A = this chain, B = another copy of it.
Amino acid sequence: MSRKSERTRQRIVEAANRLFYHKGYHNTSFTDVVNASGVPRGNIYYYFKSKGEIFHAAMAYRLGRIEQMLQSWTERYPTPLERLKRFLDLLPDSADALLQYGCPMGTINAELAKNDPTLHAEAREMFLRFEDWLTDQFAELGYAGRAREFARRLLARGQGISMVAHVYGDRRFLMRETKLLHHWLEQLASGEDQAEF
C-alpha cells in the first residue's frame, strides 16, 4: 500500500470517527463520510467494503489513541494517585466536546449496546482498556482486592457526570462533580476509606 493510499485511508477513518461521535453511528450516512473526508464517493469502497468495516477501523484508531494516552500517563506520573487524578482531568479538559456531544466512549456504546452486538463489542473495548488501567492504579494504591470494583465505579461516576452535563448543557455541574471525585480519590489515597462513596 502506497504512502498516499495510507493517507487517504486515514482521512476516511478520521472523518468517520468524528461523525460517529458528533452525530452517532446510525445517523451518520455514507454521504456524510464522503463529504467530510473529501474522498470521491466510490473510492471509499476500495478501502472498506461496508459501513461496519469503517466503524471497525474507527474503533481501532480510537483504541490506539487510548492506549497511547494511558501509557504516557503511566510513564509521566510516578504515583497511582497522580495517574488517577490525571484521568479525572479528562472531564474538564474536554468539557466543550462533552457538553456538545457527550462522552465519545459512552454515547457510542449506549447506542450500539441496544441491538448491534458485533459493533457494540468493538466499542466496549474502550471501556475495558480504561477499566484495566484504572484497576492497576487502584491496586497499586493498596486496594488490590477491590481495585476492579473501584475502577468500574469511577467509570460509572464519570459517565453519569458526562451524561447529565451533556443533557443539561451544564458546565458548572461537570466541574463541581469532578471535584467531588478528586476528593474521593484523595480520601482513598490517605487511607480514609470510611466515606465509601
Contact = CB atoms under 8 A, between A and B. Distances in A.
Interface of A: 22-24, 26-27, 100-102, 106-107, 109-111, 113-115, 124, 127, 149, 152-153, 155-161, 163-164, 166-168, 170, 173, 176-177, 180, 183, 195-197
A149 B157 CA distance: 15
Contact of A110 (B106, B149, B196): B106
Query: Main secondary structure on chain A at its contact with chain B?
Result: helix
A159 B153 contact: no
Q: Which 5 A-B pairs have the closest CB atoms?
A: A160-B160, A156-B160, A156-B164, A26-B27, A26-B26
Contacts of A156: 160-161, 163-164, 173, 177
Nearest to A157: B160
A159 B159 CA distance: 7
Number of copies: 2
12 contacts: A102-B113, A102-B114, A109-B166, A109-B167, A110-B111, A110-B167, A111-B111, A113-B167, A149-B176, A155-B160, A156-B164, A183-B196
Contacts of A106: 110, 163, 167
Nearest to A167: B109
B180 A196 contact: yes
A166 B113 contact: yes
Contact of A197 (B115, B149, B197): B197
